[in-house]
């Protein structure tokens, strides 16, 4: 085992009945990494996570963890923890008993057990809630119990299913910090599944973008955000103006268009609304929609090359609805896409 | 007009309640009669018929048989019904709807038909003993209640807690006993009470399957009344009603029974 492949999925194929959910997936994860599996629903991210946990039968391929093949190891012997989206706390047990559940199954008893449970509860700030039932806790507290319940087992890999999606905005930030802290303190390898790019960008060391059971792109948050390699990823991380390239020309609904400067060789180009220049440039458009977003204004333009979304600083002069204007799609600012689907 | 209207609803309510509870009150009153025949209004007051209930040999035997069928049949129905409910509510099985329908059939098909069919096509051809036949029939009759009530509580229980238990080191079966059973306890208890009452009050099927020397309590009461017309049957009915009320009251008091039914 090399350090770069602490957890390794090799040619992993997963199916639901006869329909393939994940074909031939290869992925290597380093020890102590915080990985996000990012993609829309149905992209196979949850299925992949369940296969790592052992809750999903593997059709072919391997799952290796810490040097051994765990493909056929049953879920209860894998040392893999999972924090469920809905937390899946045991409703008939107190918070304390929930956290003690796995430790007791390991045969831990008495003072050792108590010390471990108490420190687990302390680490998520719930020492005073030990005797409560899960139903008496808020969503955020329930999730912390679920986190503590998994972490006291000292798993080799901790999986989290949409860890922030059920929390309100304020708790989301809190939990994000909490997860990063736990990860830093324990050094546990963490993989979380999300459909929210902001969540993945904020939390992960590396992001794995998935689509239809396949990996679209793996990279750091900066890579994914600034240098998407496919139109799918570009779209997913907020590029609004995405066009294929053909012979150095932009292929639009208004035909092949020359850009103001020479584009790089790529299958396509993508611009965030912020990258569109208003007021100068070779293209004409009409303002169809406008919205004020505090620091900036967003415009939806009707143009001969199709709808364009632009965003400019609020300090710049505003265009009224229906105004005619010129704009530019600067090739040097665009993200070049290697694949266009 | 408005007076008539304002009296109408209370009047209907009174009649409905009188119709529901009236006969029961009459029976209770009749059990304390001092007279020799089952009659209302009771003649005088005495506890002699209540005392007599405990001296009738056949009552003791049939009460024992009914208790055995109610408790044994319900336990058997739960042993069959809990795994069936689990499979029906947790897995997408081919033919699940058919199984659900068959399992519910004894509720829908009139008992007299069930009794006749069991007697004619199972008990007689296979030479099954009376006690065993009654036990099997009662188990089948209780099964629908067991499956329905237990299924309802299983469907209210998230299935991911079992996976959570497995990932914390439990086996699949262990997860069932550790996290599923404790959370459907109320449903199981409700199923037990419903099954017990259903079995204990069962007449038509038991009528067909009872035989020489083996009778359930209600069958024995009918048989007794054909010969003797004293108030002891009323006294026995009152005692049985008291037992039922006691069970339901205790279940409600300690376990919140009505939440599950």
Supply B230's token pair. Answer: 């004293």
pLDDT of residue A316: 85
Residue of chain A minimizing CA distance to B172: A76
Average pLDDT over residues A117-135: 93
Q: Does A101 touch chain B (CB under 8 A)?
A: yes
Q: Does B183 touch chain A (CB under 8 A)?
A: yes
Is pLDDT above 60 for A83? yes
pLDDT greater than 80 at residue B258: no
pLDDT, tens only, B63-78: 999 999 999 999 999 9
User: In the block, which residue shows the tokens 């999972």?
Assistant: A82
The SS3 assignment for B230 reads coil
Pick the most confident of A268-272, B119-123, B227-231.
Answer: A268-272
Nearest Cα neighbor of A268 from A309, A221, A229, A313 is: A229
Q: Which residues of B touch A75 (CB under 8 A)?
A: 163, 166-167
- How many angstroms separate the CA atoms of B252 and B148, rounded? 19
Task: Report chain B's mean pLDDT, rounded to a whole number.
Answer: 87
pLDDT, one tens digit per residue, over B122-171 is: 888 888 888 898 999 999 999 998 998 999 899 888 889 999 999 999 99
> What is the nearest CA distance from A78 to chain B, expressed in angstroms?
8
Does residue A150 belong to the interface with chain B, where contact is any CB pair within 8 Å? yes
B255: pLDDT strictly greater than 70 = no
Q: Which residue of A has its CA nearest to B171?
A: A76
For A239-337, CATH number out of 3.30.450.20, 1.10.460.10, 2.40.50.140, 3.40.50.300 equals: 2.40.50.140
- What per-residue confidence (pLDDT) applies to A178? 85
- The answer to whether the beta carbons of residues A92 and B182 sit under 8 Å apart is yes
Query: What does the block give as tokens for A94?
Result: 């107190």
Class for the domain spanning A3-234 = alpha beta
**B160 close to A (CB below 8 A):** yes
Sheet holding A80-83, edge to edge: A80-83, A157-161, A189-194, A34-38, A206-211, A214-219
> Domains plus CATH for chain B?
56-228 (1.10.3720.10)
A34-38 and A189-194 strand pairing: parallel
Long-range contacts, A132-140 (Cβ 8 Å, 24+): A132/A94, A132/A95, A133/A91, A133/A93, A133/A94, A133/A95, A134/A87, A134/A89, A134/A90, A134/A91, A134/A93, A134/A95, A134/A98, A135/A91, A137/A95, A139/A87, A139/A166, A139/A167, A139/A171, A140/A167, A140/A171, A140/A174, A140/A175
Under an 8 A CB cutoff, do B164 and A91 touch? no
* A to B CB pairs, distance under 8 Å: 62
CA distance A85 to chain B (A): 10
Overall average pLDDT of the A177-185 stretch: 87
ipTM: 0.85
B164 and chain A: CB distance < 8 Å anywhere?
A: yes
Kindly identify which residue of chain B lies nearest to residue A77, measuring between CA atoms: B169
The mean per-residue pLDDT over the stretch A210-227 comes to 94
Q: Are A89 and B161 a contacting pair at CB < 8 A?
A: yes
* Whole-number Å distance between alpha carbons of A211 and A43: 5
Domain locations along chain A: 3-234, 239-337
Q: Is A267 on the interface with B (CB under 8 A)?
A: no
A166 and A134 Cβ atoms separated by less than 8 Å: no
Q: How far is A98 from chain B (nearest CA, A)?
A: 10
pLDDT surpasses 80 at A70: yes
Q: Hey, is the C-beta of A126 within 8 angstroms of any chain B C-beta?
A: no
Which of A81, A87, A92, A94 to mutate to test binding with chain B, by most B CBs within 10 Å of its CB?
Answer: A92
Runs of H (alpha helix) within chain A: 45-53, 95-105, 110-123, 139-151, 169-186, 197-203, 221-226, 231-236
Residue A36 pLDDT > 90, yes or no? yes
Whether the CB of B177 is below 8 Å from some CB of chain A: the reply is no
- HSE value, Cβ hemisphere, 13 Å, CA-based, for B100: 16
**In chain B, how many H helices and how many E strands?**
12, 0
Tell me, yes or no, if the two domains A3-234 and A239-337 fold the same way.
Answer: no
Residue in chain B closest to A88 (alpha carbons) equals B161
Residue B34: predicted pLDDT: 81
pLDDT in tens, A268-327: 999 999 999 999 989 999 999 999 988 999 999 999 999 999 999 988 888 999 999 999
Q: For a pLDDT cut of 70, what percent of chain A falls above it?
A: 99
Euclidean distance between CA atoms A189 and A6, whole angstroms: 9
Burial, A269: exposed, middle or buried (Cβ in 10 Å; 0-12, 13-18, 19+)? buried
Q: Please tell me what DSSP assigns to residue B165.
A: H
Is B160's CB within 8 Å of A91's CB? no
B-contacting residues in A 58-87 (Cβ below 8 Å): 75-78, 80-82, 84, 86
- Measured between alpha carbons, how far is A43 from A197 in angstroms, rounded to an integer? 14
pLDDT beyond 50 at A1 = no
Q: How far apart are CA A118 and CA A152, in angstroms?
A: 10
Model confidence at A174, pLDDT cuts 50, 70, 90, reads confident
Query: How many whole angstroms separate alpha carbon A303 and alpha carbon A281?
Result: 13
The closest CB to that of A105, out of B170, B182, B183, belongs to: B170
pLDDT at A297: 93
CA distance A102 to A105: 5
Nearest to B168 among A54, A91, A153 (CB): A153
């Amino acid at each position: 085992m090399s350090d770069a492949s602490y957890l390794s999925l090799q040619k992993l194929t997963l199916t639901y009945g006869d329909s393939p959910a994940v074909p031939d997936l290869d992925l290597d994860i380093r020890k102590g990494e915080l990985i996000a599996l990012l993609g829309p629903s149905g992209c196979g991210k949850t299925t992949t996570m369940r296969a790592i946990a052992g809750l999903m039968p593997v059709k072919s391929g391997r799952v290796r963890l810490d040097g051994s093949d765990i493909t056929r190891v049953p879920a209860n012997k894998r040392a893999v923890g999972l924090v469920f989206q809905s937390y899946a706390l045991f409703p008939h047990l107190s918070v304390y008993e929930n956290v003690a559940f796995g430790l007791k199954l390991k045969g831990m008893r008495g003072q050792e057990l108590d010390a471990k449970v108490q420190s687990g509860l302390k680490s998520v700030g719930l020492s005073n809630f030990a005797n409560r039932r899960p139903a008496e806790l808020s969503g955020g507290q329930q999730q912390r119990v679920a986190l503590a319940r998994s972490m006291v087992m000292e798993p080799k890999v901790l999986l989290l299913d949409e860890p922030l999606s059920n929390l309100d905005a304020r708790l989301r930030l809190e939990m994000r910090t909490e997860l990063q802290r736990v990860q830093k303190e324990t050094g546990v390898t963490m993989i979380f599944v999300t459909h929210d790019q902001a969540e993945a960008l904020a939390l992960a060391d590396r992001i794995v973008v998935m689509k239809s059971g396949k990996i679209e792109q793996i990279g750091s948050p900066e890579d994914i955000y600034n240098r998407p390699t496919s139109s799918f990823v570009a779209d997913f991380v907020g590029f609004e103006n995405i066009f294929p390239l053909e012979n150095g020309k932009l292929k639009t609904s208004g035909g092949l268009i020359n850009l103001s400067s020479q584009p790089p060789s790529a299958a396509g180009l993508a611009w965030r609304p912020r990258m569109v220049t208003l007021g100068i440039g070779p293209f004409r458009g009409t303002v169809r929609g406008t919205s004020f977003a505090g620091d900036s204004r967003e415009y939806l333009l009707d143009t001969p090359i199709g709808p364009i979304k632009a965003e400019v600083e609020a300090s710049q002069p505003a265009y009224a609805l229906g105004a005619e204007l010129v704009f530019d799609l600067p090739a040097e600012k665009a993200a070049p896409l290697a694949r266009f689907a | 007009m408005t007076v008539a209207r304002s009296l109408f609803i209370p009047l209907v309510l009174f009649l409905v309640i009188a119709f529901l509870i009236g006969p029961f009150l009459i029976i209770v009153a009749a059990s304390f009669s001092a007279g020799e025949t089952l009659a209302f209004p009771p003649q005088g007051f005495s506890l002699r018929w209540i005392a007599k209930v405990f001296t009738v040999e056949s009552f003791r035997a049939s009460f024992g048989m009914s208790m055995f069928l109610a408790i044994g049949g319900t336990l058997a129905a739960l042993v069959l019904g809990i795994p069936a409910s689990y499979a029906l509510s947790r897995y997408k099985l081919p033919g699940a709807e058919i199984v659900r329908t068959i399992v519910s059939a004894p509720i829908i098909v009139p008992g007299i038909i069930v009794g006749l069919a069991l007697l004619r096509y199972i008990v007689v051809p296979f030479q099954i003993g009376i006690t065993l036949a009654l036990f099997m029939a009662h188990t089948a009759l209780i099964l629908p209640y067991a499956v329905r009530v237990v299924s309802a509580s299983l469907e209210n229980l998230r299935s991911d807690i079992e996976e959570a238990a497995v990932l914390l080191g439990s086996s699949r079966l262990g997860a069932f006993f550790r996290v599923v059973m404790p959370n459907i306890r109320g449903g199981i208890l409700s199923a037990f009470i419903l099954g017990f009452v259903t079995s204990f009050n069962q007449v038509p099927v038991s009528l067909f399957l009872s035989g020489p020397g083996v009778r359930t309590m209600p069958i024995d009461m009918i048989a007794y009344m054909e010969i003797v017309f004293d108030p002891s049957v009323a006294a026995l009915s009152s005692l049985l009603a008291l037992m039922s009320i006691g069970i339901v009251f205790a279940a409600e008091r300690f376990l919140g029974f009505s939440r599950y039914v």
